Amino acid sequence: MSRAFIDANVFLYALGATHPLRAPCRRIVELIAAGRLTGESSVEVVREFLHVRLRRSARRSEALARAEEVVAICHQVHAFELRDLERAFELAQRHPRLGARDAAHAATALNRGIAAIVSADRHFDGIPGLERVDPTNEASLAQLAG
C-alpha cells in the first residue's frame, strides 16, 4: 500500500455538490477507507477545506462536521511546522505558478517523504520528488493503490 498526500480539492469534490470530479474523488476516499491507499494530509489541508466549506455552506455545523470527516478519513494528518514553511518558501520561489497553499501542501508532503500527491491542481506538476496523481487517471490510481 502506497502513501499519498491528499489535497483539499479531492475532499471538496468528494464531499461536495454534484461536479464532474465528484465520482473520481469519492473513489479515492473509498480506496483510503478500504486500506488500499494510505491517504495522508495536513492540518493546512483541513483548514483550507473548512475555509471553503464555511464560505459555501448555509449551515456552519455542516461545514464543521464535514471537516471532521476529512480528519477521520485520513490515515494521518500532519502538523504544519516551521521546516514546512521554510520549504514552502523555497518551492514558491522556484515554481512561480505554485500558490501559497499549494506550496505548503507540497512542502509538507516532501518533508514527510511522501512522493505522491493526489490532486486536480496541475500546479504540482514539475516539482522534483513529488508526482501529482490526477483523480481521473485510473491507471495511476491503480498503480498507487497497488
The pLDDT tens digits of the residues spanning 52-62 come to 999 987 789 99
Write phi, then psi, for 71 (nearest 5 degrees).
-60, -45
Residue 137 has pLDDT above 90, yes or no: yes
Q: At what angle do helices 22-33 and 60-73 cross, to 10 degrees?
A: 50
How confident is the model at residue 146, as a pLDDT?
78
pLDDT tens column, 92-117: 999 999 999 999 999 999 999 999 99
| Domain residue extents for the chain | 2-135
pTM score, whole prediction = 0.95
**Is the separation of the CB atoms in 79 and 42 below 8 Å?**
yes
Q: What is the mean pLDDT of residues 125-143?
A: 93
Give the whole-number percent of the chain exceeding pLDDT 90: 88
Q: What is the mean pLDDT of residues 28-51?
A: 96
Task: Report in angstroms the alpha-carbon separations of 15 from 9, 23, 49, 133.
Answer: 10, 10, 10, 19
pLDDT band at residue 28 using 50, 70 and 90 as cut-offs: very high
How confident is the model at residue 1, as a pLDDT?
61
Instruction: Please name the residue ranges forming H helices in the chain.
Output: 8-14, 22-33, 43-56, 60-73, 82-94, 100-111, 138-145
**CATH class of the domain comprising 2-135:** alpha beta
Whole-angstrom Cα distance, residue 104 to residue 13? Answer: 20
